[in-house]
Amino acid sequence: MTEVEKTKADEAPAPDDPVVPPRINVGLFNVAGTIRTLGSLGVSKTKVNPAQGILMGWQAAAYLCFAAFLAWVIMFTVADDLSVGLGKFLAFATFGFSALVLVILYGSNLVTGDYMTSSISLMTRQVRWREVLWEWTITHSGHWIAGFVIGWMIIIGASQAGPMGSTLMEMMAGIGNTKVNELSWDQLFYRGILANWLIAMGVWGAFRTKETTARILLIGIPVSVFFATGFEHSIVNHFALAAGLWAGGDYTWGEAWLNNLVPVTLGNIIGAMFLQGMVYWYVGGMQTWIGPGKWKKPHGSYRDLVRALRDTTTVMIFFVAMAPLAAGALFVYGVEPLMGVTAESGNRNWAEPIGIAAYLVGTALIVKWFMMPRIWHKVPEE
């Protein structure tokens, strides 16, 4: 039998299987192929060990820290000297083409992108929700460690740089105060949805072409839109809130988590998981993986859609409850009162950010040791 005949035989339904035409054109724009690629990528990411997860998360957050700080310096300097609009345009031109572009092309792991890719793996039944929860929690801990360490390094350097250093300190403290004390939960929630919807667009675009220049444009444009318009991204905020505190912001570490990162993280997940990932999974025929190189034919049914909604909602609730919500509440209502920490005094300390990092790593390891299935699925073939 020739290769062509084998392929046709594999694609043909079994004699007893009902031949049900797909409800939509699953071959439209090769969406199905992109879904399979991103689903396999998501599976691979769930196999990281703790050190890999933390370090790959550290690298991705570092790229975002540097890109965000550069864009803010340019935006605020130009806005003060020339024009607010010009400042935002230059921030648009700077951040998107130096943040997620570096994350993807250099090779690192950004959990807000995984809110889409790992969710696609879950929708296609290539992984279980606990495997996704493990990958999100361990990567997220690496992001936080990078955020507060690099924030400290930049702010300490800025404080020694004379007049320009003072300006940068005021800038970062102002950004942090706005994010924690001025924006309401509903504002942060919707800004979080919009920010990570655009981030997920960039990740999706990166896997729609193999040309490097095209990938840079497809990644950079939506990411630049999110930053220039002022939407909220939880991992950028890891750096922004930490740097703002080191610069003298009027809030505590616990308040940064509870007042900002809870609604922003929830919005980020919804934007990437449902508005980008699930939309394209549906358009691609609600594909379901049944074994190496094998996919359910015809493609998924509405029963698969209900199951996908159940599993993705489950992992979202567990993650938000464990990471930003529990961490913020623990420190605001437990640790900080015991330490006598308030927004007015004692908030620039090392104990709290290190404690939060230990909490994040610890809860991730609990997921791995006690919640993970005993035998992981093999990484599927595309």
Residue 373: per-residue pLDDT: 60
The answer to whether 187 and 180 have CB atoms below 8 angstroms apart is: no
The answer to whether 137 and 49 have CB atoms below 8 angstroms apart is: no
Q: Give the tokens for residue 12.
A: 């043909």
Residue 91: per-residue pLDDT: 85
Phi-psi label, residue 296: left if phi above 0, alpha if psi -120 to 50, beta otherwise: beta
Residue 374: per-residue pLDDT: 52
Backbone angles phi, psi at 291, to 5 degrees: 165, 170
How far out from the chain centre does Cα 143 lie? 10
Any bridge partners for residue 294, and if so which?
Answer: 291
Give Dmax (Cα) for the chain: 78
Distance (Å, rounded) from C-alpha 30 to C-alpha 10?
Answer: 19
Distance (Å, rounded) from C-alpha 260 to C-alpha 236?
Answer: 12
- Looking at the chain, the whole-number percentage of residues with pLDDT higher than 70 is 88
Residue 382: per-residue pLDDT: 45
The answer to whether 300 and 47 have CB atoms below 8 angstroms apart is: no
Banded model confidence at residue 4, pLDDT cuts 50, 70, 90: very low
The answer to whether 137 and 363 have CB atoms below 8 angstroms apart is: yes
The answer to whether 143 and 111 have CB atoms below 8 angstroms apart is: yes
Tens digits of residue pLDDT in 327-373: 999 999 999 999 999 988 767 899 999 999 999 999 999 999 988 76
Tens digits of residue pLDDT in 8-45: 444 444 445 454 544 555 556 789 899 999 999 999 99
> What is the third-level CATH fold of 32-371?
Glycerol uptake facilitator protein (1.20.1080)
Distance (Å, rounded) from C-alpha 336 to C-alpha 254?
Answer: 8
Residue 7: per-residue pLDDT: 43
Residue with tokens 């394209």: 280
- Residue 192 clears pLDDT 60, i.e. is over it: yes
The answer to whether 68 and 98 have CB atoms below 8 angstroms apart is: no
Domains in the chain: boundaries: 32-371
Query: Among 150-164, 193-207, 217-231, which stretch is predicted with the lowest mean pLDDT?
Result: 150-164
Residue with tokens 């083409």: 97
- Looking at the chain, the whole-number percentage of residues with pLDDT higher than 90 is 69
Distance (Å, rounded) from C-alpha 304 to C-alpha 288?
Answer: 8
Residue 17: per-residue pLDDT: 47
**With helix as H, strand as E and coil as C, how does the chain read?**
CCHHHHHHHHHCCCCCCCCCCCCCCCCHHHHHHHHHHHHHHHHHHCCCCHHHHHHHHHHHHHHHHHHHHHHHHHHHHHHHHCCHHHHHHHHHHHHCCCCHHHHHHHCCCCHHHHHHHHHHHHHCCCCCHHHHHHHHHHHHHHHHHHHHHHHHHHHHHHHCCCHHHHHHHHHHHHHHHHHHHHCCHHHHHHHHHHHHHHHHHHHHHHCCCCCHHHHHHHHHHHHHHHHHHCCCCHHHHHHHHHHHHHCCCCCCHHHHHHHHHHHHHHHHHHHHHHHHHHHHHHHCCCCCEEECCEECCCCCCHHHHHHHHHHHHHHHHHHHHHHHHHHHHHHHHHHHHHHCCCCCCCCCCCHHHHHHHHHHHHHHHHHHHHHCCCCCCCCCCC
Residue with tokens 């507060």: 148
Any bridge partners for residue 295, and if so which?
Answer: 289
Mean pLDDT to the nearest integer, 166-194: 94
- Residue 257 clears pLDDT 80, i.e. is over it: yes
Tens digits of residue pLDDT in 267-323: 999 999 999 999 999 998 899 998 887 888 778 888 999 999 999 999 999 999 999
